[in-house]
Structure 1
Amino acid sequence: MIARLWTCLLLLLAPLSALAETVRVGIFVGNDIGFGEDQTLGHAEREAREMSRVFYEMGDIPRERTFLVTGAKAPEVRDTLYRVEAQVCELSVQGHDVQLLFYYSGHASREGLHLSGTLLPMPAVRSWLESSSARVRVAFLDACESGTLARSKGGSSTEVVDLKVDDQITSRGLAIVTSTGPLSVARESDAYGGGIFSRALLTGLRGSADVDADGRITLEEAYQHAFENTVTRSVSGTSGVKTPEYRFDLEGVGDVVLTRIPSRAAGLILPTELEGTYTIVSVSSGQVVGRIEKKPGKERRVALPPGRYVVRKVRREDVLLSEVDLAWGGDRLLDDRQMTSVELGDPLTRGGWTDRPVRVSVRGTGATRYLAGNPGSMGGEVATRVRISPRLRLDGTVGHARGERDEWEGWLSLQTTRVAAGLSMQWPRDRVDFSVGGGLQGIRTRQYVEYLEAPESEEPIEKALVDIQQILPGAYLQAGVHLPVGPWAGIEVGTRANVMLGLVDDVRQPMVELQGLAGLTIGMGGRKVNRAEQR
């Protein structure tokens, strides 16, 4: 603390910048591991990364002023806090208005933050926030008993006040929002895709909390959205209702703007006439990334990272579904009349809607030689992939390839026909699907060799012909990437290692061939879910 004060005093001697501006700085800390009897978390570190991405994309926090700390011990986190404060001091004495944002997800207690077997005392964190040189400090904590931070020494949480900060900051002070009270337990849900509070906060910052549809998400809007969704989601939990707390000690006029919905980002638009609750689910992770309480009369736009999504609207008699493809950006317009209606409880409402039950592929292939003296080969194949479970697939392939080598002493032609069957695992991501698999195959090879034979006598040189055919047992390992380009079509590329057991000079030995492939795919079967139209 003393070193930090000396730093600020020295920087006061530096010349003030002629062009002061609002500067935003963010620290995002996540740790899945606490200490003692703390159960290992599954989402805290990922949530810190997601939160840093949201504020980088939508919160005007540049990459060089975004500090992400995951899986670190208390000394490393403390060093980051003081290092960032030194930068804040420098910016402040140069005349800049600084807004500092701090986010933590992980284990905690009244004593402090639990960081990989170490403790960062809560009083130290509170003191750092209260004494920071930043004009406005905003802190979000998603942890057990995190409400301790929102309690000033000997005091209690204060009432909500009007908060104002826009492009030019006109308020000053500290705002702390925590996921629980001082004696409460925070909850993490695999079904909800992470901490209930953090997930609600993330969806709100991306646009779900923009109740006045002005394209800005303020601190008050973000808190109200997180509060309502956290309480609603935790009512059915066994740990009791989880109630976020706050401490707002700010003065001035204007709204503290946390994020803005960028006009050029990928987005989902809900027209003025729509009404109801719309839930946005990421296809790649299965997580809820947005929940919008839409009221008629105002258009709403939610900014989303490029990717593939499904929107659900649960009604009394059915569920409306719509696919939203934002893999390459742009806006999509949602319309209840164009959404697919399915019955309540239908498995289609729980996932698997973008992957058709059967996929047929037509590919071109190229392979290395698997035996010295043999040529490489080029060919084609037809493959099918049948969905067994959300991740598991059954694969079948029939292919043919041909290669030739022509030299002065002779000519060799190689033909290969393969029939294969196997299993693969497939993982959808924002823009593409990854898959890894393997199986067994039977391979028929035919080597046709024509060469010049020179007898020992003075007889003329003659051509000799050799035709060798074998059926070889084998296996394969394969990895690939599939890029959907429409409701039914796609492009895929991949690589395969073929292992065969064949006769070479009357000796059976293994041979390995490396093969690359690329082609087009067509999805078949299943029920179609209508897609949101491009605006």
Structure 2
Amino acid sequence: MYYVLSIGVNYGPGADLLRFAEKDAIDIFRVLSGALGPPRVGGKCLLGARATRAEVIAALNALAWQPPEHLLLYFSGHGSEEGILLADGLLHYDELADYVRIIRARAMMTILDTCHAAAYGRFVSPADVAGLGGIDEDLTWLRVLSEAHPGMRMLFATSAETLSRESPNAKNGFFTAALLHAFHHAEADLPAGSPKLISDLQAFVNACAFMQGQQTKNWKRPGSGIVPLHIQQPQFLGHLGDFPLVRSQVERAVGTATITNFAFLPGLSMRVDFVVNGRRNVPTRWRVRLSHPDGSLIDDRSHRFVPAKDEHADGGQIRFPVSVLDDDLASSFVLDSGRQLPVRWTFELLDDHGHQLARRSLMGSYFKGAPMSQLGR
């Protein structure tokens, strides 16, 4: 079994209020427990006032009594060189290391998005850290997990001596935002098969590159070309490369979709109903296009959504104002001459990589001041 314990605390005693630590924990938990995550994943998300020392210790003790095969422990919030700040006080790193040590998970990943995050590594015994080793080829989720080398792997938002930061644009911590980007955009690096997987190493490398680019762009001194020295540098401890985190979406889409209804309504509008399967917590987009028969675009619109269930049903009316035809030179010329205007409607469901999940197309004809008629597919 693969278990995720995700903890986020915006405010602890004596500390400034953070904006996105609790959202960080939710976002990480949703990805790992959604369609991109491992099969049969279990977990708990402790947020805000619920993330007390007693609650976190109880959760760790429960995992010690019934250890999962693979454990991912995530924390976002305030931290120091001594520990992480929970809702009611500091959980010292030596305490955390002791509680984690008694969990006999075969392989474990710890991710800390907090100031001085890498200080935790000072309290971890070398014997507990995952060792070196390779993996066989042509493995899928469960086999990769079973082949993961015992011990702990750790990803840190920053070094033991420096601060971590939040990104107002991403509405996450900088490091967590970069990890989430990697989860959705990194190429697979674990063995071929279906589905292809992103390892801890691939996610970390991709996140570091993304984070470096974002920080350099945001913090470069105007006109000087000089980048400040306080660029946040993530770190890691332990052998990375054999612990699968999520499915990769680069080569093909995850899940499927079906358009169950696609029909004309009065005016410049359509009724569309669809079902998306196997994309829980994975961003998805619908796009509708109005075009001429030769494919030249008249207008389009799109909407991004995140299915909350394994089977997500949705639909409704999509309407364009008639003015889009008046504003299109070719369309207005045909309508003003009294002739019928053929217009193709195309509805698509897509992932963030542009992979097409489903598509339907219909041709309709329009007259100025008259209702639309269907011409055919």
Instruction: Identify the TM-score tier after normalising by the shorter chain.
Output: 0.5 to 0.7
Tell me the amino acid that sits aligned with residue 103 of structure 2: S
Q: CA deviation at 1:27?
A: 0.7
**What does residue range 330-479 of structure 1 map to in structure 2 within 5 Å?**
354=302, 430=306
Distance 1:106 1:198 in 2: 11
Distance 2:206 2:280 in 1: 17
1:52 counterpart = 2:29: yes
Distance 1:106 1:326 in 2: 37
The match for 2:79 among 98, 108, 116 is 108
**What does residue range 178-197 of structure 1 map to in structure 2 within 5 Å?**
178-197=156-175
Distance 2:13 2:296 in 1: 48
Cα distance change, pair 27–339 in 1 and its aligned pair in 2 (3 A): farther
The match for 2:43 among 66, 79, 87 is 66
Q: CA deviation at 1:210?
A: 2.6
Aligned to 1:40: 17
Tell me the amino acid that sits aligned with residue 286 of structure 2: D
Distance 2:90 2:205 in 1: 31
1:221 counterpart = 2:221: no
Aligned to 2:254: 265
Q: CA deviation at 1:430?
A: 4.3
The match for 2:186 among 194, 204, 208 is 208
Q: CA deviation at 1:118?
A: 1.1
Quick check: which one's strand share is greater?
1
Higher relative contact order structure (alpha carbons within 8 Å, sequence separation ≥ 6): 2
Distance 1:306 1:524 in 2: 34
Coordinate RMSD, CA, aligned: 4.0
1:243 counterpart = 2:230: no
1:130 counterpart = 2:104: no
1:173 counterpart = 2:151: yes
CA contact 1:267–1:304 (8 Å) conserved in 2: no
Cα distance change, pair 77–86 in 1 and its aligned pair in 2 (3 A): same
CA contact 1:306–1:326 (8 Å) conserved in 2: no
Q: State the Cα deviation string for residues 170-225 of structure 1 (Å, max 9, x = none).
A: 51111011100001111101112311111111222234243679521111111111
Report the 3-state secondary structure (helix = DSSP H, G, I; strand = E; otherwise coil) of the residue aligned with 2:150: strand
Cα distance change, pair 149–431 in 1 and its aligned pair in 2 (3 A): closer
- TM-score w.r.t. the length of structure 2 is 0.61
Distance 1:524 1:326 in 2: 19
Of 72-81 and 205-214, the range deviating more from structure 2: 205-214
Aligned to 2:225: none
Q: CA deviation at 1:117?
A: 4.0
Structure 1 gaps, min length 5: 1-22, 92-97, 269-302, 309-323, 328-337, 341-352, 356-427, 433-482, 491-520
**What does residue range 148-163 of structure 1 map to in structure 2 within 5 Å?**
148-152=119-123, 161=132
Q: State the Cα deviation string for residues 431-484 of structure 1 (Å, max 9, x = none).
A: 79xxxxxxxxxxxxxxxxxxxxxxxxxxxxxxxxxxxxxxxxxxxxxxxxxx77
CA contact 1:163–1:256 (8 Å) conserved in 2: no
CA contact 1:209–1:225 (8 Å) conserved in 2: no
Aligned to 2:224: none
Q: State the Cα deviation string for residues 345-386 of structure 1 (Å, max 9, x = none).
A: xxxxxxxx748xxxxxxxxxxxxxxxxxxxxxxxxxxxxxxx
Q: State the Cα deviation string for residues 123-147 of structure 1 (Å, max 9, x = none).
A: 1112233342111111111111111
The match for 2:57 among 78, 81, 87 is 78
Tell me the amino acid that sits aligned with residue 198 of structure 1: T
Identity %: 20
The match for 1:198 among 176, 187, 191 is 176
Cα distance change, pair 111–221 in 1 and its aligned pair in 2 (3 A): same
Report the 3-state secondary structure (helix = DSSP H, G, I; strand = E; otherwise coil) of the residue aligned with 2:180: helix
Tell me the amino acid that sits aligned with residue 182 of structure 1: A
Cα distance change, pair 524–222 in 1 and its aligned pair in 2 (3 A): farther
Q: CA deviation at 1:226?
A: 1.6
Distance 1:171 1:326 in 2: 44
Distance 2:11 2:287 in 1: 34
Tell me the amino acid that sits aligned with residue 188 of structure 1: E
Cα distance change, pair 218–306 in 1 and its aligned pair in 2 (3 A): closer
Distance 2:125 2:150 in 1: 22
CA contact 1:150–1:177 (8 Å) conserved in 2: no
Report the 3-state secondary structure (helix = DSSP H, G, I; strand = E; otherwise coil) of the residue aligned with 1:325: strand
Aligned to 2:66: 87
Distance 1:198 1:209 in 2: 18
Distance 2:187 2:120 in 1: 24
Q: CA deviation at 1:34?
A: 2.5
CA contact 1:147–1:182 (8 Å) conserved in 2: yes
Larger radius of gyration: 1
CA contact 1:148–1:181 (8 Å) conserved in 2: yes
Report the 3-state secondary structure (helix = DSSP H, G, I; strand = E; otherwise coil) of the residue aligned with 2:57: helix
Distance 1:202 1:75 in 2: 29
1:232 counterpart = 2:213: yes
Distance 1:166 1:192 in 2: 32
Cα distance change, pair 120–354 in 1 and its aligned pair in 2 (3 A): same
Tell me the amino acid that sits aligned with residue 205 of structure 1: F
Report the 3-state secondary structure (helix = DSSP H, G, I; strand = E; otherwise coil) of the residue aligned with 2:233: coil
Distance 2:286 2:82 in 1: 46
